[in-house]
A and B are shown apart, each in its own frame.
Chain A
Amino acid sequence: MSTYRVSGKGRVDHNRPVRFTFNGENFEGRQGDTLASALLANGVHLIGRSFKYHRPRGFLSAGSEEPNALVGVNRGVGRAEPNTRATVLEIFDGLNTVSQNHWPSLKRDVGAINDPLYMLFSAGFYYKTFMWPKSFWNKVYEPIIRGAAGLGKSPAVPDPDTYASRYAHCDVLVVGSGPAGLVAALEAGKSGAKVILVDESPEFGGSLLGEPDAEINHLSAWDWLLETNAALAAMKNVTLLNRTTAIGYYHQNFVGLCQRLTDHLSELPDGAPRERLWKVRAKQVVLAQGSIEKPLVFDGNDRPGVMLAGSARVYLNRYGVKVGNLPVVVTSHDSAWLAAFDMAQAGAKVAAIVDIRARVPNYFVKRARALGIETLCGWTISGTKGRHRVTSVRVNPVSAGGHVGPARTIACDALLMSGGWTPSVHLFSHTKGKLDWNDERQMFLPGARTEDSRCAGAGNGKFGLEESLMEGASAGAAAAIDAGFSASAGSYSVEGEVLCIGASNRELPSDGSASWAKAFVDFQNDVTAKDIRLAVREGFKSIEHIKRYTTTGMATDQGKTSNMNGLSIASDAVKRPSPSVGLTTFRPPYTPTTFGAFAGYNRGDLFEVTRKTAIDSWAEEKGAVYEPVSLWRRAWYFSKQGEDMHQAVARECRATRQSLGMFDASTLGKIEIVGPDAAEFMNRMYTNAWTKLAPGRLRYGLLLGEDGFIRDDGVIGRLSTDRFHVTTTTGGAARVLAMMEDYLQTEWPDLKVWLTSTTEQWAVIALNGPNARKLIEPLVEGIDLANEAFPHMSVAEGRICGVPTRLFRVSFTGELGFEVNVPARYGRAVWEALYDAGRKYGITPYGTETMHVLRAEKGYIIVGQDTDGTVTPEDASLAWAIGKTKPDFVGKRSLTRPDMLMADRKQLVGLLTSDPKTVLEEGAQIVLDPNQKVPMKMVGHVTSSYWSETLGRSIALAIVEGGRAKEGQTVHVPMPDKTHSAEIVGMVFVDPENKRLNV
């Protein structure tokens, strides 16, 4: 084993080796390792190349804030995930990982040519450079830039995993299981409140996992952790969610949690979802998100082996891994000294502790000396060396006056840095909670809250363990009390705690040239201190503009390690204090989240509801081709013996016109309108007059919006004086019912009438063709079907094939037609019975395409296809459907607005192409003069266009400016192949006298 693993140390299981690969090389780690800790244990620091300059990069941190160490994980076909942070990726046997953003290999990368060309790639480089020639952008520059940039490769095949979601409600949600979060959950749990505790890590404990030496309530930190976790696990009212990230905090304490269920397992359980998105509504929220360490900004601070000091401490104490045998520590914060001490005690030779501050508390200096560590206080760091891992650092003394003295080089194999700690206020910021600037501590702290939430612990600026525990306890108890429970916070004491403080910095002083320094602020987007100052010099003063121009903080880590350094440099450059420069906005998700988690169950068959009629299964058996119509899938056409769509539709049309066709019309919306005021209500809603419609009769109804435009239409039957059976378009069913309810509830609550959706109560079979009556006559009981007794536009209740029916005599084809309504669960059986009985007439099932053709031949419109929300009854030649004597109906007043009366309004007309074989494209534009210059003046468009088998030629409907007055004129339709000419004609192509209907 390597010299970097410290046996017996940490929380990994030293007796359980785990084998994995990185870039094809075999490695061994320990159960409990992350990829980062396992690689570090093997002495691997080089983990990837940076985004812009392709600079070699190592692990900066040990947590989810990691900007550098992004890897690809390959778990087989479709399970290739890019950009996974190696610092949180749990290893398992067989894990296969690769580094990213390099070619041909991690150690030899051609893109690294960008690094020496550094001066070219300054802030705004892309904006400035690729301006000319303009035509090059789409074809040359952008593809190359896009190819060169990007982090990792996305998988090329669909994700085979499934994802889950779950709603939860609780009294207290605690985010973060560090000392503050743990005791908050404990205190709230003790009160009996329903508590959910979440942490992104596999283990609860947060910072305590890296601090085994602390003593809480006279127990060692890890014993106390064991006891506390056991106490929490024993509470039935507490839900513990590890491997779960609180990704977003929304209104009214609604918090999104992403739980990783299987990513850490070497064997995936069959059918197990990979992740689950929890949608939690909490009465009270306690945010104990902890804090994130700041890097220091100096030339070469991104070299592999340069790492946050606190993270090095976590690798040592939690994972049992020394990140180096000869580390140097550079810091402006006491806490890094503790990292140096721990490293030394674990056997590392700490070459030096360099502190930017001239004065450091005596306690630390003494202890360093006792351990034989050289201390350089009031020194700076001006550079690092080493190709794929740091080999030495360049440090200089700084005089009281700020003069940087001559450099000294110290050899090392790791550099641990600390610029202090930033409270994690991300979730608090999601709620638009105010952040207050603390000038003395140079940090933003949570201020006035907008939700029922509390911040506790390091995330609230309480960096001391005892103060953090105390605040967590009182926050947990207070949250429980506010949620309606009685609680009192217990007491927590920490023995011999050393409080750490520090100073804040911008770029560190250096004896080198600032313009050549590669002092990184944002490691993931490769933004340097120089870039930020350049942006300010070029006139960007607002932090939001500086951010977008330099892209600092805009990478997938959202600037967790870089925002504060970026802000203090920007505020220095614009010469305004930090709070007035302000922070950019933190937005959900807290860490990158898979699309799968957001989609949850809604993929594949469950992506969206697929509504199927009662007859759908029959159509499927007969090989129907489907088309989606709103949420329904509908049979489009029935292909027989290898027919293409054109042949199938032609056959279906011929059969229907010549003998008998059958069509599943079940998806039509249906509304039952019942009550003494039913007719009055109909009068007010629809344009037509209803009072005189006799029971047993049907009428075509036209529904407008209050703006006078056509919203819906349908055939409406009066079953009795007080009962109407309304049909709507398939897509309009829910909308029309909602509109009717709106008027009824809010405008006319005095009307005694009620509405019920019966769309799904009835299956509807449309029978059309000269033989339609002959087919059903022997099957119908209780209704006289003779033309005189049951003429066109009649409705009656009776039985068909022995089951109850509402039989409509109505036609959407122009042929003798019936619509057989039967209770839905009889739909298929009645359909089959009619099909069997119809064989002697060559009965032909047809789909929506044939329905469309047949209705277009008759000039019947489809709302939403031939109308688009700007079409009036007059425009659609439907003025006859307006009850002229009615004082009012929805939309009536608008019909006399000046705009509605203009002569050049677009009107629906028929079109016949000069070449009868040409079928125009639906949506094609119409022009009057085909020889005019592009862009041409468009006077309308084709709304419906088909091959009419009945006429042996094409037909079309179109909407044309002043169309009706242009009847007989020729218009032109430019299409990709050529410009076609067509004559404007009336809308009815077949049987304008309705002779075929009334038989």
Chain B
Amino acid sequence: MLLIRCPYCETERPEVEFVYAGEAHVARPVDPAALTDDEWKNFLFIRSNARGTHFERWRHMHGCGRFFNAVRDTVSDQFAMTYKAGMPRPTENEIKEARS
């Protein structure tokens, strides 16, 4: 069981309190009607499926209830960092710093 740092509670909590919620930074288009079928398909179904650094969403479902973002390595399963929903995608340097 992983330990996950909730950026809202600012503590590490056991994985059982959390649920995974898919890839992060996939914003719902403001005006879906303006998208072509192809663009809409990409939004709906196409994900990066990264090997290595992955930006993903989690929810502290059985804690504070908040959705947040995380940087996790899909090979080692290790979290590099977590950050609040709405914050920009961290840069490579920020991730490197968080890992060290």
State the Cβ distance, A235 to closest chain B Cβ, in Å. 27
Interface size of A by Cβ–Cβ distance < 8 Å? 25
Contacts of B35 in A (CB 8 A): 893
Q: Within B16-73, which residues are at the interface with A (CB < 8 Å)?
A: 19, 21, 27-28, 31-33, 35, 37, 40-41, 44, 57, 59, 61, 65-67
Q: Within A211-264, which residues are at the interface with B (CB < 8 Å)?
A: 250-252, 254
Given A251-B2, A450-B76, A707:B44 Cβ within 8 A: yes
The reply to whether B67 and A893 contact each other, CB–CB distance below 8 Å, is: no
The CA of A707 and the CA of B59, in the complex, are separated in Å by: 22
Q: Does residue B3 face the partner (Cβ distance < 8 Å to A)?
A: yes
State the Cβ distance, B33 to closest chain A Cβ, in Å. 6
Which A residue sits closest to B28, measured CB to CB? A747
Contacts of B66 in A (CB 8 A): 745
State the Cβ distance, B86 to closest chain A Cβ, in Å. 7
State the Cβ distance, A523 to closest chain B Cβ, in Å. 35
Given A738-B61, A745-B67, A893:B33 Cβ within 8 A: yes
Name the one of B27, B40, B78, B85 contacting A251, with C-beta atoms under 8 angstroms: B78
Interface membership of chain A positions 678-709, coded 1 if the CB is closer than 8 angstroms to chain B and 0 otherwise = 00000000000000000000000000001100
Interface membership of chain A positions 742-786, coded 1 if the CB is closer than 8 angstroms to chain B and 0 otherwise = 110111010000000000000000000000000000000000000
Interface membership of chain A positions 845-856, coded 1 if the CB is closer than 8 angstroms to chain B and 0 otherwise = 000000000000
State the Cβ distance, B18 to closest chain A Cβ, in Å. 12
Q: Does residue A642 face the partner (Cβ distance < 8 Å to B)?
A: no
Interface size of B by Cβ–Cβ distance < 8 Å? 27
Q: Does residue A976 face the partner (Cβ distance < 8 Å to B)?
A: no
Contacts of B85 in A (CB 8 A): 745-746, 749
Which A residue sits closest to B79, measured CB to CB? A252
- If over half of A's interface residues share one DSSP class (helix, strand or loop), that class is named, otherwise mixed; here it is mixed
The reply to whether B65 and A894 contact each other, CB–CB distance below 8 Å, is: no
The CA of A74 and the CA of B95, in the complex, are separated in Å by: 57
The reply to whether A281 and B28 contact each other, CB–CB distance below 8 Å, is: no
Q: Most chain-B CB neighbours within 10 Å: which of A281, A741, A893?
A: A893
The reply to whether B28 and A250 contact each other, CB–CB distance below 8 Å, is: no
The CA of A738 and the CA of B60, in the complex, are separated in Å by: 11
Contacts of B1 in A (CB 8 A): 250-251, 254, 279
Which A residue sits closest to B85, measured CB to CB? A746
Q: Does residue B94 face the partner (Cβ distance < 8 Å to A)?
A: no
Contacts of B78 in A (CB 8 A): 251
The reply to whether B41 and A888 contact each other, CB–CB distance below 8 Å, is: no
The reply to whether A741 and B65 contact each other, CB–CB distance below 8 Å, is: yes
The reply to whether A742 and B33 contact each other, CB–CB distance below 8 Å, is: no
Given A251-B77, A738-B59, A738-B61, A706:B31 Cβ within 8 A: no
Q: Does residue A802 face the partner (Cβ distance < 8 Å to B)?
A: no
The reply to whether B3 and A281 contact each other, CB–CB distance below 8 Å, is: yes
The reply to whether A749 and B33 contact each other, CB–CB distance below 8 Å, is: no
State the Cβ distance, A598 to closest chain B Cβ, in Å. 14
The reply to whether B37 and A888 contact each other, CB–CB distance below 8 Å, is: no
The reply to whether A887 and B37 contact each other, CB–CB distance below 8 Å, is: no
Given A251-B2, A251-B77, A742-B21, A898:B67 Cβ within 8 A: no
Q: Does residue A892 face the partner (Cβ distance < 8 Å to B)?
A: yes
Given A251-B78, A252-B3, A279-B1, A741:B37 Cβ within 8 A: no
Q: Within A524-555, which residues are at the interface with B (CB < 8 Å)?
A: none
Q: Does residue A897 face the partner (Cβ distance < 8 Å to B)?
A: yes
The CA of A723 and the CA of B29, in the complex, are separated in Å by: 28
Which A residue sits closest to B26, measured CB to CB? A746
The CA of A338 and the CA of B67, in the complex, are separated in Å by: 63
The CA of A742 and the CA of B67, in the complex, are separated in Å by: 7
The reply to whether B32 and A893 contact each other, CB–CB distance below 8 Å, is: yes
The reply to whether B31 and A888 contact each other, CB–CB distance below 8 Å, is: yes
Contacts of A281 in B (CB 8 A): 3, 14
The CA of A742 and the CA of B20, in the complex, are separated in Å by: 12
The CA of A892 and the CA of B19, in the complex, are separated in Å by: 27
Which A residue sits closest to B35, measured CB to CB? A893
Give me the interface of B with A, judged by CB distance under 8 Å. Answer: 1-3, 14, 19, 21, 27-28, 31-33, 35, 37, 40-41, 44, 57, 59, 61, 65-67, 76-78, 85-86
**Listed A/B pairs (10) with beta-carbon separation below 8 Å:** A250-B1, A251-B1, A251-B77, A252-B3, A706-B28, A741-B67, A742-B21, A742-B59, A742-B67, A749-B85
User: A745-B66, A749-B86, A897-B40 given. 13 additional CB < 8 A pairs?
Assistant: A251-B1, A279-B1, A706-B44, A738-B19, A745-B67, A745-B85, A746-B86, A747-B27, A749-B85, A888-B32, A888-B33, A893-B35, A897-B37
